[in-house]
Structure 1
Amino acid sequence: MRRKPIERHQTLREKILETIREAILKGALKPGEKVAEPELAERFGISRTPIREAFRQLESEGYLSVIPRKGAVVASLSERDVEEFYAIKSILEGYAARIAAERLSERDLERLETINNNLEKLARDGDVKNFFRVHNEFHELFIRAAGNDKLLELINQLVLKFNRLRMASLSLPGRMEISVREHHKIIEAFRAQDGARADELVSKTAAIGGQVLIQSMAQEQGLKVEKSVLQRAVDV
């Protein structure tokens, strides 16, 4: 009897998170715009407590900034934010891939293949949300295989804070398909136990993701990306 309120609370919280994330990614909520607690409370028929909890999580993911006496507003993103995030991500994940290349078991490699096959299906379906979730599984597997707990902790903290950037990058036209191709090359490097190649691929593909996102930010509504920029990811 006591479990039902908890389960309902969690479900509503997830709905709030999804609603705000999608509104920000689709441009319905603009940078600097206030996200009103009363409107959400009325829409979902709940108190403001779960809404504030959702706001805290969204702040940790880079979607919102919670300002004292003003409330939650959509966080602004700059080209510098993108450049700095992807520069650090490329270094840390590239290093993890270099170490993992000598440590991944055959079972790990088969799991990476399975995950990437799932990603290919999700890309065909245009399912960005589930692609994002499964994409995280791919990267976490080889990062964990590196066997460096501090490195894993650093990467997890970094990517959590910039989930918004990563989701925005994967949402761009053609980006999911390119990610699948990138993963195929990375798996090949892992099978060859070529740490230098794995490092190069992971680092370059992270950098390309940042470049594509910066270009999309510079164009109207962030919907059009030149094929030449995307093609560079395929040619890595």
Structure 2
Amino acid sequence: MKSKPIERHQTLREKILETIREAILKGNLKPGEKVAEPELAERFGISRTPIREAFRQLESEGYLTVIPRKGAVVAALSEQDVQEYYAIKSILEGYAAELAADKLSEKELEKLEGINDKLKQLAEEGDVKSFYRVHNEFHDLFLKASGNNKLVELIQQLGMKFNRLRMASLSVEGRMHISVAEHDKLLEAFRRHDGETAESLVKKTAAIGGKVLLESLNQAEGGQGKKSILEQRIDV
């Protein structure tokens, strides 16, 4: 009897999350712009409690900043944010890939190949949302294979905080196909149990991503009217 309200609450929460994420990624909500609780409450016909819960999650993902007595506003991303994120990502994920190369079993390698095959299909279909979810499965598998639980926890926390960047990057035209090709190269290194190459590939991908994002941010600041880097055509 009590399961129905809970199920409905979760469904509404997911709809709220998706609505706000898409509005930010498409540029309909700009950095610094307030996300109004009353409008969302009226749109979904619900109280403000599930909306505030959604705001907290979106804040943890880097989409919003919740300011006391003011409410939620769209978070801005600075040059320092990008530099720090990719510097840490490069080191942590590179190390995880090196560890995983020595420990991945044949079964796990086959699973990684199967996941990447699915990603190829999703890239052809242009299904960014599903691609993002399956893309995370690919990375989670080799991260966990590293055998270092604290390392995995740190990487996942970092990824969640910059979920907004990662989702936006996969929305760029051609980016999903590039991601699949990068995975193919990484899989080759994993099959050879070549930790040094696996680490190098992951670090290279992160370094390029950081560079392109910084270029996008600098171009936006020097252009006509400042735009969020999420409104730029980026490739990470």
TM class, shorter-chain normalised?
over 0.9
Aligned equivalents of 2:19 and 2:184: distance in 1? 33
Could you tell me which runs of 5 or more consecutive residues in structure 2 were left unpaired when the two chains were aligned.
none
Q: What residue is the counterpart of 1:56 in the other structure?
A: 56
User: How much does 1:216 deviate?
Assistant: 3.7
Instruction: Check whether the contact 1:63–1:74 (CA below 8 A) recurs between aligned residues.
Output: yes
Q: What residue is the counterpart of 1:14 in the other structure?
A: 14
The sequence identity of aligned pairs, in percent, is 73
Q: What residue is the counterpart of 1:109 in the other structure?
A: 109
Q: What residue is the counterpart of 2:166 in the other structure?
A: 166
Q: What do you get for the CA RMSD once the two structures are aligned?
A: 1.4
Aligned equivalents of 1:20 and 1:141: distance in 2? 29
Corresponding letter in the other structure for 1:67: I
The residue correspondences of 1:79-228 to structure 2 (distance < 5 A) are 79-217=79-217, 218-219=219-220, 222-224=231-233
- String of CA shifts for 1:26-55, please: whole Å, max 9, x gaps: 000000000000000000000000000000
TM-score by length of 2: 0.92
Aligned equivalents of 2:111 and 2:133: distance in 1? 15
Judge which range, 17-26 or 76-85, deviates more: 76-85
Go from structure 1 to structure 2 and tell me whether the alpha carbon gap of 1:135 and 1:149 turns closer, same or farther (over 3 Å shift).
same
TM-score by length of 1: 0.92
**Secondary structure of 2:103's aligned partner:** coil
Runs of 4 or more, structure 1, over 2 Å off, are 209-225
- String of CA shifts for 1:105-164, please: whole Å, max 9, x gaps: 000000100111111111111111111111111111011001001101111111111101
Aligned equivalents of 2:232 and 2:124: distance in 1? 19
Instruction: Check whether the contact 1:91–1:203 (CA below 8 A) recurs between aligned residues.
Output: yes
Corresponding letter in the other structure for 1:72: A
Judge which range, 151-160 or 212-221, deviates more: 212-221
Corresponding letter in the other structure for 2:151: L
User: How much does 1:223 deviate?
Assistant: 4.3
Aligned equivalents of 2:208 and 2:128: distance in 1? 19
Q: What residue is the counterpart of 1:31 in the other structure?
A: 31
Give the aligned length: 227
**Secondary structure of 1:73's aligned partner:** strand
Aligned equivalents of 2:115 and 2:20: distance in 1? 28
